[in-house]
């Protein structure tokens, strides 16, 4: 079941999403969170940091598993998702570093990385709450449009649209990695609850297809229609194509 929460703008979206995550942590202090990178969740992380600093939420027992990491990139590389998460979240809260897990992008042994990450997530009992963004082409994590839904962690070739979207973070588009490790769709679906954040008109088609289109691996996010507990927090621009269905 998908529940759609309308937000006025990015700030409102971020606050509403942070409310859901903080409630999960307060209700279960040792919860397992699946986390995402990209522009969409930064405001959510900022809000959680603010509430942590005010003493409203405590991350000391939380464990986290990130969706993805670029292939062949060092953890301390400023373009890595390890670096991103430290900069935008982990360095500012009281999470135990040993409870933080991101796919090992610097390890180019694909089989080893994928099997190891899948085991870690399974051993943790899968995620209590999985935070997702959504790509313009409907990807979740780096699960790109395909002929089949993926299962476990795997290494993918990124589509040109994803490379173009991520190029704003690099000096040159040719510097954007062409491959990435990503948590599989089946692993994502094993989360007990899923929270999707989306903002801006460029995400409108993907949000519509995720919620109301056919369930197809050509829009990986559409699989969320089959989950029992999904909340989408999106601003008015991202919901522009869904208005007639939300009235």
Catalytic residue numbers, as ranges: 68, 137, 139, 144
Using alpha carbons, list the distances in angstroms from residue 49 to 44, 167, 174, 210. Answer: 9, 27, 34, 29
Token pair 């963004």: residue:
133
Contact 197, 227 (CB under 8 A): no
Local structure of residue 218 (DSSP, 8 states): T
Apex 137 CA angle, 131 and 140, nearest 5: 20
What secondary structure letter does DSSP report for 75? T
Burial of 19 from C-beta contacts in 10 A (0-12 / 13-18 / 19+)? middle
């Amino acid at each position: 079941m998908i529940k759609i929460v309308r937000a006025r703008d990015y700030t409102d979206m971020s606050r509403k999403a942070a409310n859901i995550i903080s409630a999960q942590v307060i209700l279960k202090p040792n919860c397992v969170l699946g986390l995402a990178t990209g522009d969409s969740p930064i405001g959510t992380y900022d809000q959680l940091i603010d509430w942590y600093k005010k003493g409203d939420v405590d991350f000391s027992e939380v464990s986290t598993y990130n969706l993805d990491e670029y292939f062949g990139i060092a953890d301390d590389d400023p373009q890595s998702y390890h670096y991103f998460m430290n900069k935008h979240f982990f360095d500012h809260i009281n999470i135990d570093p040993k409870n933080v897990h991101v796919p090992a992008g610097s390890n180019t042994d694909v089989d080893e990385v994928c099997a190891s990450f899948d085991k870690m997530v399974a051993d943790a009992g899968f995620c209590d709450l999985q935070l997702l963004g959504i790509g313009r082409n409907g990807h979740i994590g780096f699960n790109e449009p395909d002929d089949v839904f993926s299962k476990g962690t795997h290494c993918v070739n990124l589509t040109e649209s994803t490379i173009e979207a991520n190029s704003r973070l690099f000096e040159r588009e040719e510097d954007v990695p062409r491959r990435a490790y990503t948590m599989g769709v089946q692993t994502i679906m094993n989360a007990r609850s899923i929270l999707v954040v989306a903002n801006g008109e460029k995400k409108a088609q993907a949000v519509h297809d995720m919620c109301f289109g056919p369930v197809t691996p050509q829009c990986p996010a559409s699989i969320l229609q089959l989950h029992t507990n999904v909340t989408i927090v999106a601003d008015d621009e991202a919901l522009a194509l869904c208005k007639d269905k939300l009235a």
